[in-house]
Amino acid sequence: MSNESESLAGGRARLPQGVRDLLAALAGRHLVGNALVGPVDGACLTVLDPATGRALAQAPAAGPADVQTAVAAARAAGQAWARVPARERGRLVAEGGRRIAAASPDLAPLLAAETGKAIRTECRPEIATAADILAMFGGLATELKGETLPFSPDMLALTTREPLGVVAAILPWNVPLVLMALKIGPALVAGNTVVVKASEEAPFATIEAARLLADLLPPGVLNVICGTGPACGAPLVRHPDVAKVTFTGSQAVGEAIYREAADKLIPVSLELGGKSPMLVFADADLDRAVAGAVAGMRFTRQGQSCTASSRIYVDAELHDRFVERLAAAVSNLRMGDPLEEATDIGTVINARQRAKIMDYIARGEATPGARAVRCGHLPAAPDLAAGLFVEPVLFTGLTEDSPLMRDEIFGPVACIVPFSDEDDVLEAANAGEFGLAATVWTRDLRRALRVSHALDAGYVQVNQNLTIQPNLSYGGFKKSGLGKEASLESMLEHFTRKKTIVVDMR
């Protein structure tokens, strides 16, 4: 056995045999035209297991030729798929969701192995949510309808909804299955065909979930390629046959995609970064607010979420007790092997991301007047010594101009700030370039509504901190993105075009 083969075999050894077989079948292959195919030039990338640092498998590295093949397959399937009755398209997409849910025993360990996310707290719930999203959009198929317009008694005036064509869906690595479902669900039900660019960091569960759905669809309707942004993502966005781009990822990449799409005059939807505030007022249920902070900071995902409540403003009366209780709650979460049932927190995605997080922590600790509260313990198992684990850290004593208060760290780092005035805390919460999400914690209904209206964020919750949910319109303001996801609105406004037809009846 070659050194590379030994390394890959070692990286897969922690997986059940059935999952190892699945990973071996997916390695080095895209999904194009309902077939698993290798890249045109044979190029591959090594995907690492973040918990052990060992190689997991070879992922295909798409280049412009692979983009061309995938888009051509999608375009060839487009007209026939658009003619399939919408209700039938919805039935097939919903059935795909059920198949993905049924495959959770294999998909969940595969997702845990490539992302480092804990199988119990993160991976199984993600698969269930992705399936629910596909079921929801499948059920909305009959809402793809137009209107009759009272233009003139002598004329029949009406509107129709038509698919756009080939949709490019570009995914990140943090919640790839949920985000894929948010994009392909409405796109497919609306009659479009899709080329997904999976993250090169964690492509395998994405390809397998798409394959389960694509097996129900005509060849070419749903395709998945994997590669880097410059070699794969950029050619996909620029391709002349791509009629729509939907992207979730960083602000910088989203802005670049927006510029490319503007040159082509095609629509885009962008879900970008966030630095979400959490406002805890003096009358809040403290225990409930602490639990909401644990969930809202996505600590079980190592804080790798654009909606993470990383700026927590707490009424000065509650501040010290809140910090103490939050530190205790986070410290009770068990960090360990993502594949073990007892694990609450896994790893971050790669060494580059870990280094970025650790740099922010070091800068915070070096700030005069700041206090860092480290929570929990790194795993002691020898086989996890090289894993990309990061202890959650709570900071107090930082000012609003601190990089930790302004920047999206995408790690388990939360800043807790006391306040005493509602107007002042709203001004602080609304500062900055992001406006994705926010939460409000109070028992006063008038305050809850007043503050919710005043917050400059696209997704505001009161006394809860849920992740993306089916049928709750989701999307940000300012530089957090463009457009909405997870709702009927997203399907109609972002994946169809409206045509007006006027017939002279005289």
Residues acting as catalytic residues: 183, 271, 306, 485
The CA distance from 106 to 453, in Å, is 43
Longest dimension (CA), the chain: 84
User: In 274-374, which ranges are continuous DSSP H helix?
Assistant: 286-296, 319-331, 351-365
Q: Are 155 and 505 in contact (CB under 8 A)?
A: yes
Residues in the chain: 506
Non-local CB neighbours of 221 within 8 Å, separated by 6+ positions = 74, 77, 81, 188, 193, 194, 214
The CA distance from 436 to 308, in Å, is 10
Strands 242-248 and 222-226: unpaired
Chain position carrying tokens 């979400």: 276
The H helix count followed by the E strand count for the chain is 17, 22
CA 261 to each of CA 245, 258, 312: distance values in angstroms, whole numbers, following the listed order: 8, 5, 36
Angle between helices 286-296 and 319-331 (to 10 degrees): 50
**Phi, psi at 6, each rounded to 5°:** -60, -40
CA 427 to each of CA 198, 215, 422, 451, 480: distance values in angstroms, whole numbers, following the listed order: 38, 51, 9, 11, 18
The CA distance from 249 to 119, in Å, is 23
- Angle at the Cα of 162 from the Cα atoms of 131 and 176, rounded to 5 degrees: 25
Would the CA dihedral through 111, 113, 115, 120 be positive or negative? positive
Chain position carrying tokens 């979460």: 333
